[in-house]
Structure 1
Amino acid sequence: MKSPAFEYMRAESIAAAMTAYAEADGDAVYLSGGHSVVPSLALRLQAPALMVDLSEIPTLSGISLEGEWLRIGAMTRHVQAITDPLINKYAPLFSAAAPYVAHPAIRNRGTLGGSLAHADPASEFPAVAVAIRTELEIASPTGIRRVPADEFFLDIYETAIAPGEILQAIYIPVPVAGQVIGFDEIARRRGDYAMVGAAVQAVMTDSIVTDMSISLFSVGDRPTRAASAEVALQGRVIDNASIADAQAALSDDLSPTDDPQFPAHMRVLLARVLLGRVLSNLKVVA
């Protein structure tokens, strides 16, 4: 199928983009990397009167260290999470997850902001954003606000971004001493959507867990914090006993829906196996 006809505008600023959106009475769509918007247009899941291209807006680009935060512009490409030295150093969990995202052609064009705004519950980057306690900077006609990742993802393909607003930047707390990370997923083939995935960030002091953050994806309608599993590991050494307790605690954290081809109990089982694998292979980053 082909998309319906629409007007096209390349915005030079966020203000201009939002003005165009408002003048179209909301019958518009923002374009960043295009790997979500363009297929939906081709399938006629969307039929906007206007497409507003955000790719040339300067404030949506750039990667910089701002005090205790790493700022990543929303138009940053997936591949930059692999190649950029600042992301490698200060947001290593994004770097660890990026090679699992689709295929090189998509990573070269897709944007981090687009992935987060799209909020696919089977995507890697939203789960990473939750695990590392990212804050998302959203621009609106009335100002700018920052929303913690835990509050940003509301439902399947639904976020805290209101119609007409724009995700401007991603803010990541810089690593602290003793910080470790882990990432892995189970998929039928490399590049396929994950059947289940896990992003973990923790702080270890003298081998004891003093802070633990576990985010699972492809197990619900949004990235899922495994709060009970986190509690099971807090204040303990990560060993066979504590990992087993965390795996068992996932029963309280997960309630996936049944799928005829992938029953809920199987997804929980795979989540337990994957969590054990990730916790056993945590990497020191600070």
Structure 2
Amino acid sequence: MAKNRSVGLDLRVLEDREVLVNFSDDPTIDKKTGAFVGEWESLGLEPTDSQHGHTREVSSNTTNLTGGQSATSYTAGAITGAVDGIAGSPVMRYIENPGAVVQDGTTYGKHSDQVAKGYVATVHKFTSGLVHIWASREKADLVINERVVAKDPQARPVQITFNNGDDERYYEERFYIVGKDGSVTRVEEKVFKDISDVEAQIKAGTAFHPQASASGLTAMVVKDDESGDATLHEYEDPKSGKVAEASNEGVRPSGETASQ
């Protein structure tokens, strides 16, 4: 039961983050270790003060009825997101103009209604040792409308429109916890799959851990907690069986770097 306000995942202080995109039709992330398998590409560098935005629109309409009553209906709307990238990475350049053609070293840009489409994943690493991996279940539309160049590196906003699947599910996410030795244990799936030869694929270079994540991840366990008509989800450490709680242990004073 979530009676204690500290019960839950310690997601307070973000240490690192990364956006990855997969333009193929087979996006795969290993469930047990959090390794990205296949054709995932990093969006690149981001400004330290940028944000990963995510908006799920639900509009409402209220009809007033007799007797002082009212009825409200709800309609699911667009699912959008936004991230800031620094220009120069191959992924950023492709999103800026997916219709561009390169001939003899010259790029010929094309202005049309063509937009980049790809699966999107975000990796968030917290000072508490948790790693959160979020991935879209369908290809999203990716657009960069602004190109700013200045003395200092300028962020170029990437507008993301997520698409709902036929089953009305649009994302998957998993949590992992990083051990003191740098290894990870997963907290608690289309994108997340069991890969039997993940270690061999990592050695072969066909799978990798994003720089904002960590290697050697292990899965955590989700525990269902029935609270009235709602089912709450608590996360347990797979080794100790204890429910995850937020604490001050992972919170560092400003300016202090992570210990190696």
Q: TM-score, normalised by structure 2?
A: 0.27
Q: Which has the higher strand share?
A: 2
Which structure is richer in relative contact order (CA contacts within 8 A, separation 6 or more)?
2
What's the TM-score once normalised by structure 1's chain length?
A: 0.25
